[in-house]
Structure 1
Amino acid sequence: MTDVPGFPPHTQLLAALARLGQATRMDAVRNAGPHNLSPLQADIVGLFRRGAAVLRQSDIVTALASTAPTISDAVRVLRRKGLVDATADLADARARLLVLTPAGEAEAERLTAFSDGLVEAVDTLPEQDLAAILRAGTRLMRELESRNLIPMSRMCPTCRFFVPDAHPGEVRSYHCDFVDAPFGAAELRVTCPDHEVRD
């Protein structure tokens, strides 16, 4: 019996993930919207929607695994476009607190939706495939986080409200204590505004 030619499975998986990342980046470029946002600017606006209403620039650097000068430039452009405002941080005179303006809030709302093409492609997956991908995806993300290769994500497995084996033998075996409801692997969240880090 001979080995299948070509790259090994782990390389194939990483290549597939890179291609999927390329699809979402291309979608972000096409979805620049009325303010002609770059993918990085859109990511910054989206951070406010997914998490805190007020952020320091250092929070954005950490969340997006970027550099201070890169984020500073992007924030400067967002302020010029009228999407982000800055106020003095009373706790740190050197820092500024960033908030979305009303126009920024509207843009954040628009950015929450992926394009029809991406959504339709994902909707072709059977529920069990979607569940398997989300289960494996969150496990891989946790592993990458533990190696400091990606920043911490606001996902179910790292949340204090997540109970993984609350309903053994059930399809919806997980439980969210925040909303007090069972859910299954196909409903795992990789970003959640109600996330609180588990002790």
Structure 2
Amino acid sequence: MSGIFDALGEPVAQRVTGGLATIGQVLKSQAWKGAGPAGVTPTQAQALRVLRERPGTGLGALAGLLGVSAPTASTAVNTLVTKGLVVKEPGPDRRSITLRLTAAGEEVADRAAEWPAVLVRAVDALDPAEQTALLRSLVTLVRALQEAGEISPQRMCVTCRHFRPHVHADPRNPHHCAFVDEPFGDRHLRLDCAEQEEAAPEDRRAAWERFTSPDTAPR
């Protein structure tokens, strides 16, 4: 029988979304505070972080990774070029360009890559098991957004061709990374790995089904 809270309360998904929106506002506020002293906007700082991790990214790909329109990305890049933080280089064909950070851009990107201390402290307040559960939930959310086409492909473990979920009997380290040939656990899952190689769609689906079915016997 449903209680009063079931009758009057908002759906759990809606409350979780509201909590994420609140965290998003904190991140936005902290981004302005952190980017201001460096003389760049949050969007420009995010562009620097992306180019720091993915040198040689094209303008179109950068727009997708930032989740902004091509004109918005172009405006941000042109400003960074003017500031001497980014340089444009010829792309694979005559009509394309790639983007790289200058030495000054690397310094600003390093500062912009630092997560707001207030958020780090909040996550540190969780115990290790809660942090791992939160990380796994974030992986699930990001993958869902990627599969829905709402965000650009992310360099995550769970979509990588080197990911082997639940192949070891050790409950703390049940997964395997074929790239480094080592076992690992949920606490090691990465949302952005430089060595990630996107798996074929059917392989991604099979790996995800196995990842989300922890009772599957190791093989």
TM over 0.5: yes
Shift of 1:14: 0.8
Shift of 1:33: 5.3
Aligned position for 2:88: 86
Higher RCO, Cα 8 Å, sep 6+: 1
Count residues with an aligned counterpart: 197
- Which deviations, in whole Å up to 9, do the C-alpha atoms of 1:165-199 show, x marking residues without a partner? 12234212122222332222122111111211112
Aligned position for 1:19: 22
- Which deviations, in whole Å up to 9, do the C-alpha atoms of 1:22-80 show, x marking residues without a partner? 22222211111543221111111111222x21111011012122111101110011111
Which amino acid in the other structure matches residue 133 of structure 2?
Answer: A
Contact 1:162 1:176 in 2 (8 A): yes
Q: SS in structure 1 opposite 2:183?
A: strand
- Which deviations, in whole Å up to 9, do the C-alpha atoms of 1:74-129 show, x marking residues without a partner? 0011111111001222x322222211101111222222221322212111111111
Give % identity.
Answer: 36
**1:150-189 residue pairs with structure 2 within 5 A?**
150-189=151-190
Matched, 1:142 2:163: no
Q: Distance in 1 between matches of 2:9 and 2:39?
A: 41
Identify, as 1 or 2, the structure richer in helix. Answer: 2
Q: Distance in 2 between matches of 1:33 and 1:11?
A: 33
Q: Distance in 2 between matches of 1:183 and 1:29?
A: 36
**Root mean square deviation, CA, Å:** 1.6
Contact 2:52 2:101 in 1 (8 A): no
Q: TM-score, length-normalised on structure 2?
A: 0.83
Gaps of 5+ in 1: none
Which amino acid in the other structure matches residue 24 of structure 2?
Answer: G
**1:1-199 residue pairs with structure 2 within 5 A?**
1-4=2-5, 5-32=8-35, 34-50=37-53, 52-89=54-91, 91-199=92-200
Q: SS in structure 2 opposite 1:170?
A: coil
Moved over 4 A (4+): none
Between structure 1 and structure 2, the one with the greater Rg is 2
